[in-house]
């Protein structure tokens, strides 16, 4: 961020102004680094311009204020030399003390050349000195500064807008936190890190800045975590560091390390911080307290139907979801739950299970494959969980984004539950010792014996499916090509 004394305008590189052929400006003294910038253009013939400068200016003068001791070539002779050198030294030092960025000296109408003592003073104090030719007016120079400033502002706004759009798109991905960090690192050309409340690094993206910068950024994050400030900045080994507190209470911190500080970086990082606050924040409310109470009662032995009134709904659907990406984290799972209108989310390895009130429409979600159960009462949550699992397997096998369980009365409903379960356990006992076998058999039967679709549903090779089915047939002593055998096994597998 610029110094508060500097006008809040986009900086214009001095090199860009010197490159304007229509101005024909020429730097004759002082440093010429590419990071010298101008925030303002101001004309003054005061012998002491200090009270009138804000900082960051290109100060333009025609030398009207210079004592008459200077000769026509800009020099002086005799005893006047030391006085003139003293005058220019004081003049330039006051400009530097006020924060002036560049001094522009016009060759007309007062002086034909730039005084040598002024050149020497600018060299001594490190102030860039630019010669303005007679054909170039000060108003023309000021106009060029404003034109370059307008171009810089337009470029900055376009960069910020594009970054905001890419960050918002990243936040909607199945892996929102890593995606936002990757986008932020790419937009700033550095590294973005998410720290937890205890200061540990949760996720990071971008190029590694080295051990010294990593440690300094972690230390900056600890300062913000301590809530001495919501933001903090520093520069270490030429790398610009910034830390942003996420949310009011959670204690997460976003750290950014960039090799250079570009206009708009603070705005871009602030947008990322807001998105990460939404993605990592926990909402402490009456609803959250009710969920906590329901969980405690379940753990202490209460039946689901007794706990359900605390959650405010009578009927529910269970959703099973798998991401298109390779992995899924807890934040992505929570984001999916929020999109479906529920915070009752469970991440079990690569499958996310969500309990959704039946009155809410479950729609397909970008980046996910969903299986949805029938609407059930809390007493039937376990059955609905199995239904959602089968629906997800069918959706993945048929390559559709969402599949619903088709609930309707079946012949299996005519058999008493206890007797049916005892029969199923006996029938399937030879293969239940290896969980992969009944799982594969269930998927294979549900997909009408398709090797390829079963392999897709289980994320295994088709040869693995063939081997497992052959082993099931051997252990069960059954002909799996017989439709009656398939039907009997299917009923048994559904019961288990």
Residues 99-140 have pLDDT tens digits of 999 999 999 888 999 999 999 999 999 999 999 999 999 999
**pLDDT at residue 50 greater than cutoff 70:** yes
Give residue-wise pLDDT tens across range 371-391: 999 988 888 888 889 899 888
The listed CATH number (3.30.450.20, 1.10.8.100, 3.30.450.30, 3.90.70.10) that belongs to domain 165-280? 3.30.450.30
The residue to which tokens 């929102």 are assigned:
176
The residue extents of the domains of the chain are 12-136, 165-280, 283-311, 313-408, 413-495
- In DSSP terms, which residues pair with 194 in a beta bridge? 203, 254
DSSP string, 20-52: -TTTT-EEEES---TT-EESEEEE---S--GGG
Cα 89–Cα 90–Cα 95 angle in degrees, nearest 5: 100
> Sorting pLDDT into bands at 50, 70 and 90, what band is 283?
very low
Among the listed ranges 77-91, 136-150, 262-276, 331-345, which one has the minimum average pLDDT value?
331-345
- Residue range 193-216: average pLDDT? 87
**Nearest Cα residue to 6 out of 46, 37, 34, 49:** 37
More confident residue, 178 or 4: 178
Region at 448 (left for phi over 0; alpha for psi -120 to 50; beta for the rest): left
The span from the CA of 357 to the CA of 19, in Å, is: 65
**pLDDT at residue 418 greater than cutoff 50:** yes
The span from the CA of 213 to the CA of 207, in Å, is: 12
What is the C-alpha R_g of the chain? 36
**pLDDT at residue 492 greater than cutoff 70:** yes
Strand order in the sheet with 26-29: 26-29, 129-132, 102-106, 57-61, 40-43
Alpha-carbon distance values, 155 to 11, 162, 415 (Å): 12, 11, 73
Contact 192, 169 (CB under 8 A): no
Q: Do 413-495 and 12-136 fall under one CATH topology? A: no
In sequence order, what are the residues at sequence separation of 6 or more whose Cβ sits closer than 8 angstroms to the Cβ of residue 292?
none
Q: Is the peptide bond before 443 cis (omega within 30 degrees of 0)?
A: no
List alpha helices for 172-264, DSSP H. Answer: 176-188, 211-225
More confident residue, 333 or 70: 333
Report the CATH number of the 413-495 domain. 1.10.10.2840
Alpha-carbon distance values, 381 to 385, 414, 475 (Å): 6, 21, 32
Supply the pLDDT for residue 74: 46
**pLDDT at residue 72 greater than cutoff 70:** no
Helix 436-446 to helix 462-476 angle, to the nearest 10 degrees?
Answer: 100
Burial of 252 from C-beta contacts in 10 A (0-12 / 13-18 / 19+): buried
| pTM score | 0.46
12-136 domain in CATH 3.40.1390.20? Answer: yes
């Amino acid at each position: 961020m610029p110094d508060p004394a500097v006008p809040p305008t986009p900086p214009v590189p001095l090199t860009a102004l010197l490159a304007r052929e229509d101005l024909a400006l020429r730097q004759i003294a002082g440093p010429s680094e590419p990071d010298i910038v101008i925030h303002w253009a101001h004309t003054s013939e005061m012998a002491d311009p200090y009270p009138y400068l804000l900082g960051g200016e290109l100060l333009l003068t025609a030398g009207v204020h210079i004592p008459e001791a200077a000769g026509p070539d800009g020099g002086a002779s005799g005893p006047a030399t030391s006085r003139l050198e003293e005058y220019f030294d004081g003049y330039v030092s006051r400009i530097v003390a006020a924060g002036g960025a560049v001094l522009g000296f016009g060759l007309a109408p007062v002086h034909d050349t730039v005084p040598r003592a002024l050149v020497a003073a600018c060299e001594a104090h490190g102030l860039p000195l630019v010669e303005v030719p007679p054909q170039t007016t000060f108003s023309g120079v000021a106009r060029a500064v404003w034109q370059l400033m307008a171009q810089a502002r337009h470029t900055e706004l376009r960069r910020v807008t594009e970054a905001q759009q890419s960050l918002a798109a990243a936040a909607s991905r199945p892996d929102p936190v890593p995606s936002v960090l990757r986008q932020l690192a790419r937009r700033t050309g550095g590294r973005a890190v998410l720290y937890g409340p205890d200061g540990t690094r949760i996720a990071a993206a971008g190029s590694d800045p080295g051990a010294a910068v990593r440690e300094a950024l972690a230390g900056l994050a600890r300062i913000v975590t301590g809530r001495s400030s919501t933001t903090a900045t520093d520069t270490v080994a030429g790398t610009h560091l910034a830390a942003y507190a996420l949310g009011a209470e959670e204690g997460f911190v976003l750290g950014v390390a960039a090799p250079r500080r570009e206009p708009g970086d603070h705005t871009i990082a602030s947008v990322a911080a807001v998105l990460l606050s939404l993605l990592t924040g926990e909402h402490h409310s009456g609803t959250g307290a009710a969920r906590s109470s329901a969980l405690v009662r379940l753990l202490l032995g209460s039946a689901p139907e007794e706990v359900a009134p605390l959650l405010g709904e009578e009927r529910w659907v269970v959703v099973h979801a798998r991401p298109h990406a390779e992995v899924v984290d807890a934040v992505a799972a929570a984001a999916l739950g929020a999109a479906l209108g529920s915070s009752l989310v469970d991440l079990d390895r690569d499958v996310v299970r969500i309990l959704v009130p039946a009155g809410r429409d479950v729609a397909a979600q970008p980046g996910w494959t969903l299986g949805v159960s029938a609407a059930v009462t809390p007493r039937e949550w376990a059955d609905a969980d199995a239904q959602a699992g089968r629906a997800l397997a069918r959706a993945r096998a048929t390559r559709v984004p969402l599949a619903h369980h088709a609930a309707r009365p079946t012949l299996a409903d005519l058999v008493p539950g206890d007797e049916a379960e005892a029969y199923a356990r006996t029938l399937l006992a030879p293969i239940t010792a290896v969980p992969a076998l009944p799982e594969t058999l269930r998927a294979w039967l549900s997909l009408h014996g398709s090797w390829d679709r079963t392999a897709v549903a289980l994320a295994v090779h088709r040869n693995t499916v063939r081997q497992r089915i052959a082993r099931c047939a051997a252990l069960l002593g059954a002909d799996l090509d017989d439709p009656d055998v398939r039907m009997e096994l299917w009923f048994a597998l559904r019961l288990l």
